[in-house]
A = this chain, B = another copy of it.
Amino acid sequence: MLKVTNDQVAGHKAGDGKLGPLIDDLGRFYKPLQSNERGSNELTFYTSFSTNTRIPSPIRRFFPNFYGTQLVEASDGSSLQPHLVLQDFNFGRVNPSIIDIKIGSRTWDPQASEEYIQKGLKKDRETSSLPLGFRLSGFQIYQNRELGFWKPERTFQSLSADEVDLLLRKFVSSNTSANLDLQPDCSFASIVYGGSTGILSQLLELKAWFEDQTIYHFYSCSVLMTYEKEFVSNGKIPCAEIKLIDFAHVYEGQGVIDHNFLGGLCSLIKFISEILISPEECTTEASPKDIQKNQIYFEELIK
């Protein structure tokens, strides 16, 4: 039996008769295969990547396992439809805190249609993509058993550097559950972001590959950062992980590194590094109230 996932933070969501991804009980994630060029492009990528012998083994763990395509009943109840069968990252997790970060100051490929380029460029300029080299596409932060997740419905894509810094701090803090206005204590920063297996270490490993690989260019692709707050609180291994998702706009590198993705990745790395260097020095003047104001503004902007 396939069911709707609760841990999706960005993109089209299933449920209420809408088409979206499904999961099973065996750790697989079923993503509807779009019938347009995006769908065929994403399938081409997964097929190419899964058989490409030039991908270093340690790098593969940052990508979803690919199990082919399968006709399954779509979540909108319409009919049997082809789905990409992928690894479900959140399989086995109980209350994962997740941030979805779309990497790159440019989300469009130089060869795209003029219409797509203009639309993508407009979005890049309106959001933090252009100034910061990435934008937050969605997130959920687990608070506690009573409050559940802090999971804003709308993305916080047009945040300033200070506001992004604040959110990345809240993501690894223990004191923001009851009062969103508190300055984050970053008490999980060293264990989630730091250490030899933490998120920073994984991002640096990915960066080293991007400095060298000229096989693929990843436009409009996201890095997911995930961990279990309760595991950390209980002193268990946090299993903080990064994963890359969304490959509908991946193209051949043609002998050139993906300088657009790499630049954005380095910008994110700098934010995370700064939090580790000064976990208690939240430099921001921005309060969560400012963020909510900003969010409302952004929602009006994109109406």
Contacts and interface: CB of A to CB of B under 8 A. Distances in A.
A221 to B, nearest CB: 15
Interface string A260-295: 101110110110000000000001000000000000
Given A110-B130, A131-B110, A262 B266 contact: yes
A237 interface: no
A254 B130 contact: no
A106 interface: yes
Contact of A270 (B161, B214, B266): B214
Interface of A: 105-106, 110, 121, 125, 130-133, 161-162, 165, 211-212, 214, 254-257, 259-260, 262-264, 266-267, 269-270, 283
B110 A255 contact: no
Q: How many copies does the complex hold?
A: 2
A110 B133 contact: no
A272 to B, nearest CB: 12
A256 B132 contact: yes
Contacts of A105: 106, 259-260
Given A132-B259, A260-B263, 5 more contacts: A105-B259, A161-B256, A165-B255, A256-B267, A262-B263
A121 B106 CA distance: 12
A210 B259 CA distance: 14
B255 A259 contact: no
Contacts of A256: 131-133, 161, 267, 270
Contacts of A125: 110
A212 B269 CA distance: 10
Contacts of A260: 105, 133, 263
A263 B259 contact: yes
Nearest to A283: B255
Contact of A266 (B133, B211, B283): B211
A255 B131 CA distance: 10
Nearest to A214: B270
A273 to B, nearest CB: 8
Contacts of A130: 110
A136 B220 CA distance: 27
A257 B267 contact: yes
Contacts of A264: 259, 263
* Highest count of chain B CB atoms <10 Å: which of A106, A130, A255: A255
Nearest to A134: B259
Given A105-B106, A254-B161, A259 B211 contact: no
Contacts of A214: 270
A200 B264 CA distance: 23
A270 B212 CA distance: 7
A160 to B, nearest CB: 9
B259 A266 contact: yes
